[in-house]
Amino acid sequence: MSLDTTALNRRMTHFDAHEDFWLFGYGSLIWKADFAYLERCPAHIVGWTRRFWQASHDHRGTPEAPGRVATLVESPGEHCHGMAYRITPETLAPLDHREKNGYRRVVTELHLDDGTTHEGLVYIASEDNAAFAGPAPEPEIARLIDTARGPSGANREYLLKLAAALRDMGHEDAHVFALESLLR
């Protein structure tokens, strides 16, 4: 049912020779940084939009009742706001495990809120992965999120914490906030 991308991601060696580099988080990585990092800073990437189009069979749902979690879809000219973390290559092993359900490492340009730009890494679950659920009406996505629960907790918690974190950062996300409204 799900595609474990751990081995594929470990073949991506782009940052192996770096002492440190930036990682961009746009979902639970914004509010749940349970990994080692050297520094963190609000940031955004260009050309992507956050969508709850990825099924979660391993964290916020089960194989029998998958939840929905965020991924990015290409959207020219759009900005996706999140959190950037300066990490070392050793941090990738636990992140690869965390993001194993269809997410692949992708090199991207990060724009930190301090005005600097860096080459960085983001995990994206593209539509060619086995857990990609794709677009659906927001009420349907909200219903799935409301009822799903997995080893990492209620899917509802994931969405509500993400919405709160974006609001605390001062950023709007129409899709996330519409789903939040439907849950409340």
Q: What is the mean pLDDT of each run of 10 residues along the chain (184 residues)?
A: 75 88 97 95 98 95 95 97 97 92 95 97 94 96 97 96 98 97 93
- Write down the architecture of domain 6-183 according to CATH: Roll (3.10)
What per-residue confidence (pLDDT) applies to 184? 84
Distance CA 131, CA 55 (A): 5
Quick one: pLDDT at residue 139?
98
- Report whether 43 contacts 110 (CB < 8 A): yes
- Look at residue 1 in the predicted model and tell me its pLDDT: 39
99 is a catalytic site residue? yes
| pLDDT value of residue 10 | 84
Domain assignments of the chain as residue spans, ordered by start: 6-183
Active site residue: 19, 74, 78, 99, which one? 99
pTM beyond 0.85: yes
- The dihedral built from the CA positions of residue 115, 118, 121 and 123, taken in this order, carries a sign that is positive
Query: Token pair of 88, please?
Result: 């070392």
